[in-house]
Amino acid sequence: MSKVKVTLPDGSSRDYDQGVSVKDVAFDIGTGLGRASIGGRIDGEEVDVSYQINEDVNLELITFGSEEGLDIYRHTAAHVLAQAVKRLYGDVQLAIGPTIDDGFYYDFDMDYRLSEDDFDKIEKEMKKIVKEKLDITSEVTSKEEAIAKMKELGEDYKVELIEELEDDELTFYSQGEFTDLCRGPHLPSTKKLKANAIKLLNVSGAYWRGDENNKMLQRVYATAFYKKKELDEYLERLEEAKKRDHNKLGRQMGYFTTDPSVGQGLPLIMHKGAKVIQTLQRFVEDEEERRGYELTKTPYMAKDDLYRISGHWDHYKDDMFVLGDEEEVDKDLLALRPMTCPYQFMIYNSKQRSYRELPVRYAETSTLFRNESSGEMHGLIRIRQFTLADGHVICTPEQLEEEFSSVVDLVNYMMESLGIEEDIWYRFSKWDPNNKGKYIDNPEAWERTQNQMRNILDKLEIDYVEAEGEAAFYGPKLDVQFKNVHGKEDTVITIQIDFALADKFDMTYVDKDNQKQRPIIIHRSSIGCYERTLAMLIEKYAGALPTWLAPVQTQIIPISDKHLDYAYKVKEELAKEGVRVEVDDRQEKVGYKIREAQVEQVPYMLIVGDDEVEANTVSPRHRREGDLGAISIEEFKKDILEEIENKA
């Protein structure tokens, strides 16, 4: 029998008989390791412990308890979930059951409507399956056999999946009476799962293959950990995250409210929320002006003619609020604006442009209206009317790289100012060549622009993930992504290179050879949409916004009524420097007023009583650090102004 050489991650190697299993190797290294191994990685590819090694390989063992093993572990848990559901509800067809970031899900097609009330029962059955200590075995079959097998089992979705696979060799995994098509790897036995560390989380609908024209299946989300303690910690983290939910906190703290008679997705932003937005907006508009942007103020609605030129009428009409009746031919048809671009393009087109004036940079604090579907609205994150820090850079092809880079620089500056540069990441959103309806049909231009954009991104050394089918209909995007407290990804900002609309609007400039040329357009936001940004800030800071953004920056707390005059004097001192300051003049105990200011997350409280009046001082109390001791009014003023200036 010939030998194979197995090289381990530490560089050492061992010789074995051909056909040795991963498990054998693990036990050969050590019994402890043997028992702990739940999979292996051979030349980078994950395999079962039962995998037989037939040639010289690099082997890395994946052990129970390891980060990388968790995926295998959860994948097996997903199979156990499917097995339990099949046992309990009989006529169930399986769709897909992948692992995701914090757990896994499985999609089922079944008549019985699952609800969370069924979870107990399903979890019990899963526990039973774990207790049954079923061996998990794999079997490789040909495509033809696989299809026959799945047809026999009545698994239509699996048949569909297999038919589209290119491979002729397919793997099935079985445990007890349950068999599923799966690439693997899996645990060697269901007994390796910790039954009390598995939890079903929620059930929802999900279209087969994510296509709304397909049947809606039932998706069960769940998670699994190696230990109950890890599960408990995870659940606790979820609870903690929910406490930061802007949709709860924002309402509780009086940032915004909603009312059914106003309508869905139409939040009423109250003083505190409006104050934060105003602060942000002034900051953004000033910074953009400094960076050479021209401010514009364009109409909230326009005739359909404008949207027909831009192509929005064809691509986007269902999502716009159209005013007027399309049947009445002799009356204008208007639509509320879902974006600012066509308006700013009209400004560009209002005169002939020379290459000398390019780049032209337009910025506008722009209220937009989008008719989101009813199931989409979420707090301040997905709404029907919102305010975007919008803008467009119109430049020559030669200027594109520099202009794009400076937009990225602006965005980075904004993210740093908000203190969220560590919480966001970049997504390079490309078109999907197979989705003809969604994108402008010009494959050559798509590929060219995307390559251009990739080159710029790589030059800027930006880390990004690529996402197919996330582009705008007219061009690729660089998106800034953020995760909300529910773990869901939202786009905060997008920067787009547009190769199409300049054509549609017949935008030109005259170059130095006196020839008319097409400019390139960059669509961009600097800080995103103010409502969504506010939501993000509330969640990031759990309501305790940085001082420069806090709606109230200083709360003055007089000990008793007789200190009111002094309190107002201090207020005046600070207010004239632009500090947002209030006096709590209610007849309450100091402790009570402090507690309220604390709950409101006011950065500084200034306690003033006899001592302070006497010495002409204030006693600041920081919301996190507590009592800071008495200092002069001047000193406090200097400190807080510096903190506001530095956006600390």
When asked if residue 305 is in the footprint of RNA (CB under 7 A), the reply is no
Residue 440's SS3 state is coil
Binding to RNA (CB under 7 A) within 263-302 occurs at 263-265
Total interface residues for RNA by CB under 7 A? 82
Crossing angle for the helix pair 119-131 and 69-89, to the nearest 10 degrees? 110
Segment interacting with RNA, rule: CB under 7 A, options 23-31, 187-195, 288-296, 484-492: 484-492
Of 472, 577, 483, nearest in space to 244 by CA: 483
When asked if residue 248 is in the footprint of RNA (CB under 7 A), the reply is yes
In whole angstroms, how close is the CB of 52 to RNA at the nearest point?
Answer: 38
When asked if residue 251 is in the footprint of RNA (CB under 7 A), the reply is yes
In whole angstroms, how close is the CB of 2 to RNA at the nearest point?
Answer: 49
Could you give phi then psi for residue 383, rounded to 5 degrees? -135, 170
When asked if residue 637 is in the footprint of RNA (CB under 7 A), the reply is no
Segment interacting with RNA, rule: CB under 7 A, options 128-136, 177-185, 457-465, 605-613: 605-613
Cis check for the bond before 185: say yes or no (omega within 30 of 0). Answer: yes
Which residue number, 560 or 632, has a Cβ lying nearer to RNA? 560
Q: Using CB under 7 A, pick the residue from 252, 278, 349, 632 that binds RNA.
A: 252
Which residue number, 245 or 288, has a Cβ lying nearer to RNA? 245
In whole angstroms, how close is the CB of 325 to RNA at the nearest point?
Answer: 20
Binding to RNA (CB under 7 A) within 400-429 occurs at none
Residue 481's SS3 state is strand
Segment interacting with RNA, rule: CB under 7 A, options 1-9, 25-33, 145-153, 469-477: 469-477
Binding to RNA (CB under 7 A) within 97-156 occurs at 113-116
What single-letter amino acid sits at 91? D
Binding to RNA (CB under 7 A) within 220-239 occurs at 221
When asked if residue 616 is in the footprint of RNA (CB under 7 A), the reply is no
When asked if residue 611 is in the footprint of RNA (CB under 7 A), the reply is yes
Task: Kindly report the number of other CB atoms within 10 A of residue 7's CB atom.
Answer: 15
Binding to RNA (CB under 7 A) within 72-101 occurs at none
CA distances from 644 to 320, 526, 547, 580, 624 (A): 40, 21, 6, 11, 17
When asked if residue 486 is in the footprint of RNA (CB under 7 A), the reply is yes
Q: Using CB under 7 A, pick the residue from 152, 325, 587, 645 that binds RNA.
A: 587
Which residue number, 303 or 486, has a Cβ lying nearer to RNA? 486
Segment interacting with RNA, rule: CB under 7 A, options 3-11, 51-59, 316-324, 526-534: 316-324
In whole angstroms, how close is the CB of 390 to RNA at the nearest point?
Answer: 10
Which residue number, 213 or 352, has a Cβ lying nearer to RNA? 213
Which residue number, 283 or 386, has a Cβ lying nearer to RNA? 386
When asked if residue 313 is in the footprint of RNA (CB under 7 A), the reply is no
Of 413, 402, 310, nearest in space to 359 by CA: 402
Would you list the DSSP string of 12-58?
A: -EEEEETTEEHHHHHHHH-HHHHHHEEEEEETTEEE-TTPEE-S-EE
Of 316, 319, 285, 320, nearest in space to 301 by CA: 320
CA distances from 65 to 8, 74, 135, 226, 381 (A): 19, 12, 20, 6, 37
Q: Which two tokens stand for residue 274?
A: 């409006």
Of 607, 495, 600, nearest in space to 558 by CA: 607
When asked if residue 540 is in the footprint of RNA (CB under 7 A), the reply is no
Which residue number, 146 or 521, has a Cβ lying nearer to RNA? 521
Q: Using CB under 7 A, pick the residue from 41, 75, 158, 219 that binds RNA.
A: 219
Name the DSSP letter for residue 356.
G
CA distances from 379 to 189, 246, 266 (A): 44, 7, 9
Binding to RNA (CB under 7 A) within 318-347 occurs at 319-320, 338-339, 341
Q: Using CB under 7 A, pick the residue from 64, 413, 473, 568 that binds RNA.
A: 473
In whole angstroms, how close is the CB of 461 to RNA at the nearest point?
Answer: 25
Segment interacting with RNA, rule: CB under 7 A, options 3-11, 282-290, 568-576, 608-616: 608-616
The contact pattern for RNA, residues 4-43, with x = CB under 7 A and - = no contact, is ----------------------------------------
Please report, to the nearest 10 degrees, the dihedral formed by the alpha carbons of residues 283, 287, 290, 293 taken in order: -110
When asked if residue 449 is in the footprint of RNA (CB under 7 A), the reply is no
Instruction: Return the half-sphere exposure (C-beta side, CA atoms, 13 A cut-off) of residue 217.
Output: 22
- The whole-angstrom separation of Cα 430 and Cα 433 is 9
Of 244, 94, 87, 234, nearest in space to 172 by CA: 94
In whole angstroms, how close is the CB of 504 to RNA at the nearest point?
Answer: 13
Q: How wide is the angle at C-alpha 269 spanned by C-alphas 267 and 270, nearest 5°?
A: 140
In whole angstroms, how close is the CB of 275 to RNA at the nearest point?
Answer: 20
When asked if residue 202 is in the footprint of RNA (CB under 7 A), the reply is yes
* CA atoms 347, 352, 357, 358: torsion sign: positive
Which residue number, 382 or 580, has a Cβ lying nearer to RNA? 382
Binding to RNA (CB under 7 A) within 354-383 occurs at 370, 372-379, 382
Q: Using CB under 7 A, pick the residue from 27, 64, 207, 413 that binds RNA.
A: 207
> Strand pairing partners for 205?
218
Task: Kindly report the number of other CB atoms within 10 A of residue 271's CB atom.
Answer: 11
When asked if residue 607 is in the footprint of RNA (CB under 7 A), the reply is yes
CA distances from 386 to 15, 283, 339, 370 (A): 66, 18, 10, 9
When asked if residue 206 is in the footprint of RNA (CB under 7 A), the reply is yes
CB neighbour burial string for 619-628, b if at least 16 within 10 angstroms, e if fewer: bbbebeeeeb
When asked if residue 314 is in the footprint of RNA (CB under 7 A), the reply is no
When asked if residue 598 is in the footprint of RNA (CB under 7 A), the reply is yes
What is the CA 135 to chain-centroid distance, rounded?
39
When asked if residue 254 is in the footprint of RNA (CB under 7 A), the reply is no
Which residue number, 146 or 559, has a Cβ lying nearer to RNA? 559
Binding to RNA (CB under 7 A) within 504-523 occurs at 523
Q: Using CB under 7 A, pick the residue from 449, 619, 636, 637 that binds RNA.
A: 619
At which residue do the structure tokens 């995998």 appear?
51
What single-letter amino acid sits at 107? D
In whole angstroms, how close is the CB of 91 to RNA at the nearest point?
Answer: 16
